[in-house]
């Protein structure tokens, strides 16, 4: 039967409408596919890597022959730190840089108070161009007259010198001044405010001969940041956090209120980011870490120090690469484990006797890991050993004199870095080891 003309027109109209609808839907779908995850304003999540593998026993790089240690050794150029985006987009670094590579000594309270002129003369005559001085010590005492109410209420300051006068006097002699601030190890404020302290499982304040602020608590973070803000006003060139960690879980038992899937390293990174964003944007910020985070891919001792995350908001990390502090193969005594310490594929059974090799290989392993993290560009300024570790078992230590000092400086340069700090708690430095002023 033939269709009527009006039926033909109606069917043609329906077919045309269907075709136009299909074409419209196809175009819309194509446009939507170009928008990706921005449609619902949800950013693409950044993957979180939690490495638990054992550090490789193969050398990251084979150490080649290097020239003899010399105080005039040429230091390589230092990499320029670049900001790296964190999970919340808040990680950043200082808008300011120091003018020269730091060659520093740590000065204790007594040296600053009674012997500052000697150290100014030393800096004017040698390559030393910076000093690290305490503003908050291992007991939690501030070394200056603080105006902070919480500090004053807790009697947590021990003023012995005018901090502004000290920084001005050093600056007048073109000396860089770095403020060392012991962070979470604090037996002073925790006595006055036990609510801010780390607790045991029973609820008592944790005490391993020292008490510790709990880095998970915002009140503890605010206290530390308030002191850092005050220190910036005194004209320090850099704020350096020490003891920026938790007590070792392998040695001590305590309780933390961590969020689900939150690690101790996450907590420390969060604190550093918070401090960074609370301080003026031109504040140079550094942190002291153990030497082990450079060679261990795990959070060694579960203290919250992981190399690939701790430096996201830092201008420098300052690993304490003291040869005496690495495990030796003695059967007993301090730092003994009966095996030795493997670094960069090399087993050191008597590490204190190998100052160059220990510092050099530790830095090589750390540098390789830093370089593999895209955009990290983390500057490393090592603490090196300026003391003799006579507390070690006989045969496992040696006198650290001019040669050991120079070997460590050379190791820093040979590993591709330009800056260093010597640590000696009583400040008995071997001053003849330092080269002439450059």
Identify the architecture of domain 103-433 in CATH: Alpha-Beta Barrel (3.20)
pLDDT digits (tens, 9 = 90+) for 293-344: 999 988 988 999 999 999 999 999 999 999 999 999 999 888 999 999 999 9
Q: How far apart, in whole angstroms, are the C-alpha atoms of residue 315 and residue 299?
A: 21
pLDDT given for residue 14 in this prediction: 44
pLDDT given for residue 61 in this prediction: 35
Domain ranges in the chain are: 103-433
pLDDT given for residue 302 in this prediction: 92
Report the DSSP pairing between strands 285-290 and 238-242. parallel
The predicted model gives 122-138 an average pLDDT of 98
The predicted model gives 142-151 an average pLDDT of 96
pLDDT given for residue 184 in this prediction: 98
The predicted model gives 191-209 an average pLDDT of 95
Tokens at 136, concatenated: 């908050």
27-41, 72-86, 346-360, 385-399: which range is least confident on average?
Answer: 27-41
Residue of higher predicted confidence among 280 and 160: 280
The predicted model gives 383-399 an average pLDDT of 98
Q: How far apart, in whole angstroms, are the C-alpha atoms of residue 144 and residue 24?
A: 73
- Given a cut of 60, whether residue 74 has pLDDT beyond it is no
**Average per-residue pLDDT for the chain:** 84
Tokens 């690469």 locate to: 321
pLDDT given for residue 93 in this prediction: 77
With beta carbons less than 8 A apart as the criterion, state whether 107 and 427 touch.
yes
pLDDT given for residue 371 in this prediction: 96
- Given a cut of 50, whether residue 54 has pLDDT beyond it is no
The predicted model gives 79-99 an average pLDDT of 61
pLDDT interval class at 92 (50, 70, 90)? confident
pLDDT given for residue 66 in this prediction: 31
Residue of higher predicted confidence among 95 and 149: 149
Count of H-run helices and E-run strands, the chain? 12, 11
Q: How far apart, in whole angstroms, are the C-alpha atoms of residue 383 and residue 316?
A: 12
Query: Over the Cα atoms of the chain, what is R_g?
Result: 28
Q: How far apart, in whole angstroms, are the C-alpha atoms of residue 250 and residue 290?
A: 15
Residue 184 DSSP symbol: S
């Amino acid at each position: 039967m033939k269709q009527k003309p009006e039926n033909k027109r109606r069917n043609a109209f329906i077919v045309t409408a269907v075709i136009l609808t299909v074409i419209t839907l196809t175009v819309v779908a194509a446009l939507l596919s170009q928008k990706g995850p921005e449609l619902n304003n949800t950013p693409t999540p950044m993957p979180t890597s939690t490495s638990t593998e054992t550090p490789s026993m193969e050398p990251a790089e084979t150490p080649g022959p290097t020239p003899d240690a010399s105080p005039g050794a040429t230091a390589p150029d230092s990499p320029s730190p670049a900001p790296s985006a964190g999970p919340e987009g808040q990680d950043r670094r200082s808008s300011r840089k120091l003018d020269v590579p730091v060659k520093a000594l740590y000065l204790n309270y007594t040296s600053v108070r009674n012997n500052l002129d000697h150290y100014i003369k030393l800096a004017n005559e040698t390559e030393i161009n910076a000093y690290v001085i305490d503003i908050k010590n291992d007991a939690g005492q501030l070394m200056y007259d603080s105006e902070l109410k919480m500090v004053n209420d807790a009697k947590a300051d021990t003023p012995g010198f005018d901090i502004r006068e000290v920084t001005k006097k050093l600056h007048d002699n073109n000396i860089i001044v770095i403020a060392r601030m012991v962070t979470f190890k604090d037996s002073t404020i925790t006595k006055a405010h036990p609510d801010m302290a780390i607790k045991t499982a029973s609820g008592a304040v944790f005490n391993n001969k020292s008490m510790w602020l709990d880095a998970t608590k915002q009140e503890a973070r605010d206290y530390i940041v308030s002191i850092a803000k005050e220190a910036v006003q005194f004209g320090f060139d850099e704020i350096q956090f020490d003891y920026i960690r938790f007590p070792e879980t392998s040695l001590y038992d305590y309780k933390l209120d961590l969020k689900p899937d939150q690690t101790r390293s996450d907590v420390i990174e969060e604190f550093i980011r918070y401090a960074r964003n609370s301080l003026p944007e031109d504040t140079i910020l550094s942190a002291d870490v153990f030497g082990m985070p450079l060679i261990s891919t795990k959070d060694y001792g579960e203290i919250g120090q992981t190399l690939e995350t701790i430096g996201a908001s830092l201008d420098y990390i300052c690993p304490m690469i003291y040869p005496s502090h690495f495990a030796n193969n003695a059967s007993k005594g301090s730092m003994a484990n009966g095996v030795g310490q493997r670094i960069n594929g090399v087993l050191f059974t008597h590490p204190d006797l190998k100052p160059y090799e220990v510092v050099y290989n530790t830095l090589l392993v750390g540098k390789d890991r830093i370089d593999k993290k895209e955009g990290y560009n983390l500057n490393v300024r090592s603490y090196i050993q300026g003391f003799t570790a006579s507390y070690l078992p006989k045969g496992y230590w040696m006198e650290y004199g001019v040669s050991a000092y120079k070997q460590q400086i050379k190791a820093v340069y040979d590993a591709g870095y330009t800056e260093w700090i010597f640590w000696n708690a009583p400040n008995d430095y071997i001053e003849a080891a330092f080269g002439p002023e450059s």
